[in-house]
Amino acid sequence: MMVILRSRHLLYQTALFFSIVILVVIALRTSTVQDSISRFKANHADTVLGDDEGTPHPKYKPTPSYTPPAITDPFPALATSTPPPIPSYNVPEKDGWKKYGLSVAPPLVIGFTRSWPMLLQAVVSYITAGWPPEQIYVVENTGMQQANARGQLSLQHPWYLGHAALKKLGVHIIQTPVLLTFAQLQNFYLSLSYTHEWPYYFWSHMDVLALGHENGFENLTPRAGEPGYKTLYTLSLEELNRTLATDDRWGLRFFAYDHLTLQNPRAIEDINGWDTLIPYYMTDCDTYTRLHMRNWSQVDANCGVITDTSVALDNLLALYRDPKVTPKFTDPNPPPPKEDEERTKQRREVLTDPVEYWKSLIRVADSMFHYKHGDRGRNTWQAGQHGGQGEPFYYDGAGFTEALEVLTEAGKEVYRRKWGHRDCDLVKGGGLKFEDQWRVLPDW
């Protein structure tokens, strides 16, 4: 009996033991499955549509408390008519460049990614300063494929480019096949020099306002209208001619810092192009220093007043010196700069005199420069267009700006690793030479 009881007890205990083991195994397996489910969810957070607690809710950034007003077309007249004549004293002589023994009419290349009013201002300012429109090439680098060419984007779309308006102005439009970074765009210019057989080209930024020395400039030109007056274009041709005649290792010529640059494609070719792994800032340090290391000359020259701006004139007819138009700009992020507006208003009565008109343009350009570099923020213009949602190739404007900052930082890190030096002074500060790229350790 005892034996039976014992054995039954044993049997009972054994059964209990195995039940516990099975329960533990089940529990362990369940937790393993649950672990792996949560691991999967963590890894695929954006693809899991729901869980026990319901649908996940993304956290949105706060809605901006202020949205700048919609931008306005700074040259509405272009939609209905051809552009007016440019100031008579700036009209270029037909085929004037041929006098300089040049083989090719000097092209001016202006790259564009976003902020149409700024680009239109830059192009119109070069034309009204005497640059022949057929020698201007706007490079559409928007990533918008054919959307702009087909007129599918609205003015408020950040990547809007008015093909029809540019054609009316008589300039060329070249499209990059895909969105390029700054360094890639520069290499694209080099490729254009092969396609078009350019032995030289000028390139400028899309956010400048160019004006000739219409008030005269010592040792360069008398005033506009006086005998011997030289336009911005004429002075650029003279510099090109002088450069080609006197310097067989010319790399580039800088006008007004680098707001306008005369580039020798042979020099860029010699240094193997711009480094596309340094896509934005510091890539100029990298390129210009490598040109210097290879003995390509870089000299400052002067052809006019080329101002770096962040806003466009309210009405670009001011650049045609339309006496009915007062040169002024409106702050895209109000409050408006009252002082400047008042100053330009006070000048309204004198605007029939060409040099006075030019002076008022210079004053406005100057306040635009201070606006850009003052506390209003350097690149506020990049956030000026807020529409275009739902249109082809729409991309969030603020997101684009933020992404560029990330790429810029990455490029700076590439630069530091490439040269083992953090600043722009690679030769003086780092003692580096052309062959040292990627072969040195950090010097800090």
Ligand X SMILES: *[C@@H]1O[C@H](CO)[C@@H](O)[C@H](O)[C@H]1NC(C)=O
| Shortest distance in whole angstroms from residue 234 CB to ligand X | 9
Among 187, 241, 276, 380, binds ligand X (CB under 6 A): 241
Among 15, 22, 33, 245, binds ligand X (CB under 6 A): 245
Two tokens, residue 127: 């034309």
Q: Which residues pair with 201 in a beta bridge?
A: 263
Number of residues that bind ligand X (CB under 6 A): 8
Stretch that binds ligand X, among 47-55, 155-163, 235-243, 405-413 (CB under 6 A): 235-243
Binders of ligand X among residues 137 to 156 (CB under 6 A) are none
| Shortest distance in whole angstroms from residue 354 CB to ligand X | 25
Among 242, 266, 363, 417, binds ligand X (CB under 6 A): 242
Residue 186: exposure state from Cβ atoms within 10 A (0-12, 13-18, ≥19):
buried
Stretch that binds ligand X, among 23-31, 139-147, 193-201, 241-249 (CB under 6 A): 241-249
Q: Hey, how many other C-beta atoms are within 10 angstroms of the C-beta on 398?
A: 13
Q: Hey, how many other C-beta atoms are within 10 angstroms of the C-beta on 57?
A: 6
Binders of ligand X among residues 76 to 135 (CB under 6 A) are 99-100
CB closer to ligand X out of 249 and 439? 249
* Angle of the 397-419 helix axis to the 283-293 helix axis, nearest 10: 40
| Shortest distance in whole angstroms from residue 292 CB to ligand X | 9
Residue 46: exposure state from Cβ atoms within 10 A (0-12, 13-18, ≥19):
exposed
| Shortest distance in whole angstroms from residue 295 CB to ligand X | 4
CB closer to ligand X out of 299 and 410? 299
| Shortest distance in whole angstroms from residue 271 CB to ligand X | 10
CB closer to ligand X out of 80 and 246? 246
Ranges of beta strands (E only) in 236-376 are: 250-255, 260-263, 297-301, 305-308
Two tokens, residue 393: 């190739």
CB closer to ligand X out of 375 and 435? 435
Name the residue type at position 321.
R
- What do you get for the CA distance between the two ends of the chain, in Å? 89
Spatial distance between the Cα atoms of 9 and 18, rounded to a whole number of angstroms: 14
**Cβ(301)–Cβ(262) under 8 Å?**
yes
| Shortest distance in whole angstroms from residue 236 CB to ligand X | 12
CB closer to ligand X out of 238 and 314? 238
Query: Dihedral through CA 114, CA 198, CA 104, CA 120, nearest 10?
Result: 0
* Angle of the 338-346 helix axis to the 354-373 helix axis, nearest 10: 180
CB closer to ligand X out of 24 and 245? 245
Cα angle for residues 318, 320, 326 (degrees, 5° grid): 20
Site for ligand X contains 16 (CB under 6 A): no
Two tokens, residue 263: 């580039």
Spatial distance between the Cα atoms of 167 and 189, rounded to a whole number of angstroms: 21
| Shortest distance in whole angstroms from residue 433 CB to ligand X | 9
Stretch that binds ligand X, among 76-84, 239-247, 408-416, 418-426 (CB under 6 A): 239-247
The 267-296 contact track toward ligand X, x by CB under 6 A, reads ---------------------------xx-
Spatial distance between the Cα atoms of 444 and 441, rounded to a whole number of angstroms: 9
Stretch that binds ligand X, among 110-118, 217-225, 237-245, 364-372 (CB under 6 A): 237-245
Site for ligand X contains 343 (CB under 6 A): no
| Shortest distance in whole angstroms from residue 233 CB to ligand X | 13
- DSSP SS3 for 413: helix
Pairing of strands 297-301, 250-255: parallel
| Shortest distance in whole angstroms from residue 117 CB to ligand X | 36
CB closer to ligand X out of 242 and 376? 242
Q: Which residues pair with 301 in a beta bridge?
A: 255
Residues that bind ligand X (CB under 6 A): 99-100, 238, 241-242, 245, 294-295
